[in-house]
Amino acid sequence: MWRFGYWLSFALASAWVFARPGAAEVAGSNASSNAESTSFVRHEAPAPSSAETYCAWFADRDGDVIYFGQAAFWWGFRSSDGADPARDFALEGPRPIGRFDLGREAFLPSLDAGAPGARSGVWDVLRHANGRIYFTTFFERGGYVDPANERVVHFGDAGTGLNELAPGPGGAVLATRYADAEGGAGSLVLLDSEGGILAEHVLVSSTPGFQLAAKSAALDPIRGDIWVNSDLLPARDHAGEKSARGPGGSWGAAGHPTLVMDAAGRERARFDAVEIQAMAFGADGVGYLALAEGARLSVAVLTPGLREGDPRRGLELARRVVVDDNYSRHLDFAQTLAVDDQGRVILTRWGGHVHVLERERAGVQSGPGGEGAEAEAITLRSLRLPAYEPGGLYYAAYLAGDRICATYCGRVSVVCGSASALAPGPAAPQPSAGKRLETPRRSDSGRERLR
């Protein structure tokens, strides 16, 4: 387990800037905006443990229900002043998967993904087309829970180190392995519905003395390619010694390459110069990439035609929608990029900025030869969710009717407000925190009630 802690200590050397209380609240505070402040409601669920402070983070949606991981990772990292990213693993504790009803804006009973002696909480979750909720725990084995009967299955062969999940080809599950148990390079793992490994492709670093740690993955439904972003971290030799340093001689991530791999795991392209912080593909095959370049955060729109040849050339030609021209990668992060069932693209940032992109037909334009070509407009609306406590981080936002709700890693919280707060344009100012709902308490009968 010390090897996982070793890898995380490097990956989070830079992230400690994010994790410091107050950092996320500052992020984007000078960004341009024309959005109005509005009132939001913070819904807070019962604390899963009195020994550790859990929070709501990675999430996925099934209709009107948000499923989200609950873990004490950030609590452990902060309480050790950034020195021990594996502190959550030191204590036994519950392993709940949270549920939040978007229609009623109320928590549902959590699903229990635990096992005897479990220590690590739930990290990422994936609502699969088969109805199961797949999950990772990073330090321990992942698995799935069937909400229909609450049956829990823990993967036997997939091993530890699994980080994030995504839908795979043919009903399979994509998982990123941040590092293997021996401190080796990260990989892209293709799992069957029961957690068996169908294929595993180790990410190869092009930088001597460094290894790649896989973070997020996204499947291109048209080409079948898989996009994987990563952290470029110092490798550890067989003697357990640090073998390389980052820029300026510092320990930590030296870069964040993104690889495009074909269905057989062969590399088609690699992006080193631009940081792709999040990726998503819509049902129509259009891809979206959250790009951090200098002080600018933008969303690149990759139509299927742009991905036919070299993906690097496709990204050069792709339309880019700037969502923040005063973006600081040292104070913020584009955490979740998702396409909802209405085709809206929702980007959620740690600091509370939420950006919604919608593609609309804009009539017919004449092509080079005089033929008609359908043009498309992209509208951008943004808001900023309130900061309720030092160090709180937003993970995933969802639109439901005229409301918007987001998981908030400040204890187990979901923050909701009117979607009318979304205003045309890029990043928005910090709104008033508004009211807060009291923490529900569980009675002897197991029913939840508001205090």
Q: Tell me the average pLDDT of the chain.
A: 84
Q: Check if the beta carbon of residue 336 is closer than 8 Å to that of residue 278.
A: yes
pLDDT of residue 237: 58
Nearest to 225 by CA among 278, 284, 287, 182: 287
> Which whole-number Å values give the CA distances from 416 to 55, 148, 158, 181, 389, in the listed order?
16, 27, 36, 39, 16
Q: Summarize pLDDT for 371-396 with one digit per residue, the tens.
A: 444 567 999 999 999 999 888 999 99
Q: For CA atoms 438, 443, 449, 451, give the dihedral sign.
A: negative
Nearest to 16 by CA among 75, 77, 64, 68: 77
Nearest to 203 by CA among 236, 228, 226, 224: 228
Most confident of 21-25, 124-128, 308-312, 387-391: 124-128
E strand or H helix that includes residue 79: helix 73-79
Q: Which tokens sit at 194?
A: 């029961």
Q: Summarize pLDDT for 173-208 with one digit per residue, the tens.
A: 999 999 877 778 999 999 999 999 999 999 999 999
Residue ranges and CATH numbers for the domains of the chain are: 2-449 (2.130.10.10)
Kindly report the pTM of this predicted structure: 0.88
Strand pairing partners for 177?
A: 162, 187
Q: Check if the beta carbon of residue 434 is closer than 8 Å to that of residue 386.
A: yes
Nearest to 132 by CA among 120, 115, 155, 149: 149
Three-state DSSP at 366 gives strand
Q: Summarize pLDDT for 21-76 with one digit per residue, the tens.
A: 555 554 443 333 333 345 899 999 999 999 999 999 999 999 999 999 999 999 88
Nearest to 227 by CA among 158, 274, 174: 174
pLDDT of residue 81: 75
Count how many residues are written for the chain. Answer: 451
